[in-house]
């Protein structure tokens, strides 16, 4: 599939990630294409199930575009799932009602990890790169397209546990009792993520993000050894220029506020910050080495538009004057949120942020 890539009309998000001057703070939302939108629910019902939606390039493009038709967002994010790589490795991904993602064949010993192959993004994961190409063409240069992957540690938690977990006992047992096995798995996953994200960039993604959802369950020592070290490897292996401009890389560890300084030294361009860390403190910790993304509590979107605007004002004031801030939620938007409240959130950022860029 070969589709043209129109010139970019709105690059404020990319400039902010590179800490270049911007006239306002750009905004997009994690999970902005998702279950809070009735049109998404209709498209998913048409697809039949979640993975069928992910694996259909036209439908993945449709749900990626839906929030952009409603809201003046500054970026689109590829509609996919963080577990595409484990699925391509043959672990048998499926989704159980009320239980979330599950794997038919979780990894429980060294032999199982040794037998894992590294997926070819243009073969086993071709549906993702086809979706990137389709979305990039459909965007018509309106806003940039973000590609993404789960972090090696986060992918490993699902692959070893066999799905979602509350205490992480199985994956931590492997980490502490068989660290060589865990390092082998994480190394294979890092290599896979590098190939996967570079394929997304080649297909048209203009920025990429690594979601380390479960890094926050580790101790500081173990975080550095089993999560951050492999994200550093990914950053070092990524294509950093395409289409004549830089391709920014953002790392996000949920619950990782204590490690922002270490993360900033990884070579990335930006860090995601969740709502448990004050944005002003985060900026002090990274000393403007990198841009920061975040960080409103998604639950604020249940509040009135006035309260939402107050929270936006608080976060903008905390970050302060200057560039290098991308406004976002501290994690994904909740499915029960009224879309009008998401609109009020975006409007508040547009209204209040220019004063911080004079």
pLDDT in tens, 143-191: 999 999 999 999 999 999 999 888 999 999 999 999 999 999 999 999 9
Q: Phi first, then psi: give them for residue 35, nearest 5 degrees.
A: -70, -10
pLDDT in tens, 221-272: 999 999 999 999 999 999 999 999 999 999 999 999 999 999 999 999 999 9
How far apart (Å, rounded) are the C-alpha atoms in residues 6 and 16?
A: 21
How far apart (Å, rounded) are the C-alpha atoms in residues 116 and 2?
A: 31
Q: How far is CA 150 from the centre of its chain?
A: 7
How far apart (Å, rounded) are the C-alpha atoms in residues 317 and 352?
A: 10
pLDDT tens string, the chain, 358 residues long: the values are: 455 567 899 999 999 999 999 999 999 999 999 999 999 999 999 998 888 999 999 999 999 999 999 999 999 999 999 999 999 999 999 887 766 899 999 999 999 999 999 999 999 999 999 999 999 999 999 999 999 999 999 999 999 999 988 899 999 999 999 999 999 999 999 999 999 999 999 999 999 999 999 999 999 999 999 999 999 999 999 999 999 999 999 999 999 999 999 999 999 999 999 999 999 999 999 999 999 999 999 999 999 999 999 999 999 999 999 999 999 999 999 999 999 999 999 999 999 999 999 8
34 marked among binding-site residues: yes
223 marked among binding-site residues: no
What residue ranges do the domains of the chain occupy?
12-357
How far apart (Å, rounded) are the C-alpha atoms in residues 94 and 87?
A: 9
31 marked among binding-site residues: yes
Kindly list the catalytic residues.
Answer: 31, 35, 44, 81, 158
**DSSP β-bridge partners for residue 249:** 208
Contact of 73 with 67, CB cutoff 8 Å: yes
| pTM of the predicted model as reported, rounded to 2 decimal places | 0.96
105 marked among binding-site residues: no
33 marked among binding-site residues: yes
Topology adopted by domain 12-357: TIM Barrel (3.20.20)
DSSP strand pairing (325-326 vs 291-293) = parallel
3-state secondary structure at position 322? coil
């Amino acid at each position: 599939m070969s589709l043209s890539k129109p010139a970019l009309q709105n690059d404020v998000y990319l400039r902010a990630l590179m800490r270049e001057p911007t006239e306002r703070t750009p905004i997009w939302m994690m999970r902005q294409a998702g279950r809070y939108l009735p049109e998404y629910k209709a498209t998913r019902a048409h697809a039949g199930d979640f993975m069928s939606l992910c694996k259909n390039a036209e439908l993945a493009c449709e749900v990626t575009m839906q929030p952009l038709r409603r809201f003046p967002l500054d970026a689109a994010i590829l509609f996919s799932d963080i577990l595409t790589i484990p699925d391509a490795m043959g672990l048998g991904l499926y989704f159980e009602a009320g239980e979330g993602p599950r794997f038919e064949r979780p990894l429980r010993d060294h032999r199982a990890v040794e037998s894992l192959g590294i997926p070819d993004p243009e073969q086993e994961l071709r549906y993702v790169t086809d979706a990137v190409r389709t979305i990039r063409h459909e965007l018509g240069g309106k806003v940039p397209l973000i590609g993404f992957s789960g972090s090696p540690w986060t992918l490993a938690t699902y692959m070893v546990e066999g799905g979602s977990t509350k205490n992480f006992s199985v994956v931590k047992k492997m980490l502490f009792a068989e660290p060589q096995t865990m390092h082998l798995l994480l190394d294979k996953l890092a290599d896979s993520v590098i190939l996967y994200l570079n394929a997304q960039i080649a297909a048209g993604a203009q920025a990429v993000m690594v979601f380390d959802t479960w890094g926050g369950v580790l101790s500081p020592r173990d975080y550095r050894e089993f999560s951050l070290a492999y994200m550093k490897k990914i950053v070092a292996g990524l294509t950093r220029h395409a289409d004549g401009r830089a391709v920014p890389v953002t790392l996000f560890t949920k619950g990782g506020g204590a490690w922002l300084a270490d993360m900033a030294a990884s070579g990335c361009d930006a860090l995601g910050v969740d709502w448990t860390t004050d944005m002003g403190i985060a900026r002090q910790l990274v000393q403007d080495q990198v841009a920061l993304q975040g960080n409103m509590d998604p639950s604020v979107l249940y509040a009135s538009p006035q309260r939402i605007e107050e929270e936006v004002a608080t976060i903008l004031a905390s970050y302060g004057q200057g560039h290098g801030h991308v406004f976002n939620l501290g994690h994904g938007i909740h499915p029960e949120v009224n879309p009008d409240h998401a609109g009020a959130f975006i409007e508040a950022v547009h209204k209040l942020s220019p004063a911080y860029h004079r």
